Each structure stands twice: as C-alpha cells, then as structure tokens.
Amino acid sequence: MYPSRFRYEAPRTIDEAIQLLHEGGAEAKVLAGGQSLVPLMKLRFAAPELLVDINNLPGLDHLDVAADGGIRVGALCRHRDLERSLDVAQAQPVMAAAAPLIADPVVRTRGTLVGSLCHADPQGDWAAVVTALGGHVVAQGPGGRRDIAITDFVTGPFQNVLAYDEVAVEAVLPPPRARVAGGFLKLERRVGDFATAGTAVALEIDGDRVVRAGIALTGVGSRTVDARAAADSLVGQGLTGEAIMRAADLAAEAAQPTSDHRGSAAYKRHVIHTFVTRILTRVSQTSEAAA
C-alpha cells in the first residue's frame, strides 16, 4: 500500500513551515512522527496534497522538567524519550506509567506525544494523561503563539481546534502545588492494539488530603472523556475505601463506551471502574507506607 501523491516539503525554520501550511490551506498536513498519519495515508483515509515535514525544525525535540515539576514536551520529543526520562519518572508518575504502554517499542522510537494529541484518536493514550494533568498545547501560527487547554484542543474523533496554518509546537503540564501521585492503566488485546479501555489518574496530595485530582478515560467515547465529577469527588478527601468507590462509580458513569469487537459497553464500563479503583488503592497504600 502506498499513499496517494502529495507534495513534500521539509522546511528548516518554523516560520517557513507556517508559511507553507498557510499556502497549502486545508489540504496541507504536518508530519512529525508519522506513526498514525502515514498508515492513514496508506489506507487512503487521509490524502493531503502537501505534507510539511517538521522533523528538521530546530528546538522542538525538548523534554524539559523544571525544578517546580512543570513539564514541557516539544513537538519532536518521541515516546521513547518520555519512557526513558528519569526526570519524568520522578516528576509525574502518571506520565511515567503511560509512556511504556504507548503503541509498541518500535513505534515509540518515532511517534510523538504532541502528534498523538493532534491526532485526537478517541482511543489515544496521551490525551487522557494530559487531560488528567490539566495540561495545554502551545500552537504557533502566522499571528504568534497561543495556549489551548487540552479540554478545548480535542473537539471530537480525530479533530482538533488548530487552524490550518498552525503548528502545535509543545505540550505543557503545569507544576503541581503538592505531592504528585497517580497512574495509568490500559487494557489492550495485544501490545500495540488500540485501547479497549484506559484510565489516567493524576492527583496532588497534601498530608492525607487530595488537593487536586484529574481523571480521564480513553477508548470509551467519541473523544477523550474528562471524568470531572469523579475527580472532583476526591478533592478535599482522604483516599478512604468509600471515597475510592465513589470516584470509581462516577468515572464508570462518565464513560460512554459502545459495544464492539473489543468488548461490550458494560464490560468496558466495568474495566474503567476497576482501573480507577486499582490506581487509587495503590496510591493510598503507597501513601500509607510512606507516612
């Protein structure tokens, strides 16, 4: 299989890339890791007339973990870089848990976190992680840069709010105000398959109280599900068995799964309930052990 014909450009500066996208209009597409776009083009689900390869742009491969715990992930930072980063492992357990579960090890050498956000696959993993962490995307266009909250960024299946001449240059995870905890669990039929269901939980804990919580779900809706009510139910609480059960109930309620070859809607809802319970229980046990 091969893609339909397209014009290929590999600009050396971001301004040049934006100019090319501007000229290309709605028929232009950005190529970063290409691990979703190239298969889509081969299957002819996508047939852009112009491909703007950003792999030669300088200053986009960064993975900065600041002293305050804030993280900036450049558009050319690969899943593999996140998977192997000791700084990320220390700063954000939910990211560290998700990184080795993205696709498969070979895909992870090329695919990017920012590209995954832009691709906005309802079964993608990073959008759930970034949603749970309350992150945003930085987009650069002819008029300069703007920040877009992840919850506004993804608008539907495979749809984002970027203008046709904007490049998503980085993803930003805000610095936490308290001790971070959390996790990411995914059910997949085999390594590299799309998620049957997945759950990202990001917490900030002060003493024994949760002061901030984010829970986001993948594979159980037409877009990443922000389980706000479930997360809010934890804020101000200790991670008691009762609080964990309530959050798991609310998260399962927020899921909008459909029955398909990966499982029935009821099954996927059950998986979400189990995952939330499992992650929160593990955090509560670790916190107790540390105390």
Partner 1 sequence: MTSLYEEIPQAAAEDVPVRRITVSVNGQRRTADVEPRLLLAHLLRQGFKLTGTHTGCDTTNCGACTVLVDGLPAKSCTMLAVQADGHEVTTVEGLAGPSELHPLQEGFKDEHGLQCGFCTPGMMLAAKALLEENPDPTEDEVRFALSGNLCRCTGYQNIVKSVLWAAQKMNTAKTQGGESE
Hunting for tokens 């390594």 — which residue is that? 191
- Report, in angstroms and rounded to the nearest whole number, the Rg of the chain calculated over CA atoms: 19
Distance CA 132, CA 94 (A): 9
Can residue 107 be called a binding residue for partner 1 (CB under 8 A)? yes
Distance CA 24, CA 131 (A): 31
Distance CA 272, CA 159 (A): 24
Distance CA 244, CA 230 (A): 9
Q: How far is the CB of 113 from partner 1 (least distance, A)?
A: 17
Give 55's DSSP letter: T
If 0-12 CB within 10 Å is exposed, 13-18 middle and 19+ buried, where does residue 167 land? buried
Which one of 47-55, 141-149, 217-225, 249-257 is the stretch in contact with partner 1 (CB under 8 A)?
47-55
With CB under 8 A as the contact rule, the residue among 16, 22, 109, 164 that binds partner 1 is: 109
With CB under 8 A as the contact rule, the residue among 20, 30, 63, 80 that binds partner 1 is: 80
Q: How far is the CB of 155 from partner 1 (least distance, A)?
A: 25
Rounded to the nearest angstrom, the gap between the alpha carbon of residue 110 and the centroid of all alpha carbons in its chain is 16
Distance CA 263, CA 271 (A): 10
Which one of 101-109, 153-161, 196-204, 271-279 is the stretch in contact with partner 1 (CB under 8 A)?
101-109
Can residue 86 be called a binding residue for partner 1 (CB under 8 A)? no
Can residue 192 be called a binding residue for partner 1 (CB under 8 A)? yes
How many residues contact partner 1, by CB under 8 A?
31
Q: How far is the CB of 269 from partner 1 (least distance, A)?
A: 27
In the range 24-43, which residues lie near partner 1 by CB under 8 A?
A: 31, 34-35, 38-39, 41-43
Q: Coil, helix or strand for 174?
A: coil
Q: How far is the CB of 191 from partner 1 (least distance, A)?
A: 4
Can residue 191 be called a binding residue for partner 1 (CB under 8 A)? yes
Can residue 44 be called a binding residue for partner 1 (CB under 8 A)? no
Q: How far is the CB of 287 from partner 1 (least distance, A)?
A: 28
Q: How far is the CB of 3 from partner 1 (least distance, A)?
A: 5
Can residue 1 be called a binding residue for partner 1 (CB under 8 A)? yes
CA-to-CA dists, residue 152 to 53, 74, 158, 236, angstroms: 25, 19, 14, 26
Beta bridge partners of 156: 159
- Residue ranges that bind partner 1, judged by CB under 8 A: 1-8, 10, 31, 34-35, 38-39, 41-43, 51, 53, 55, 80, 100, 103-107, 109-110, 191-192
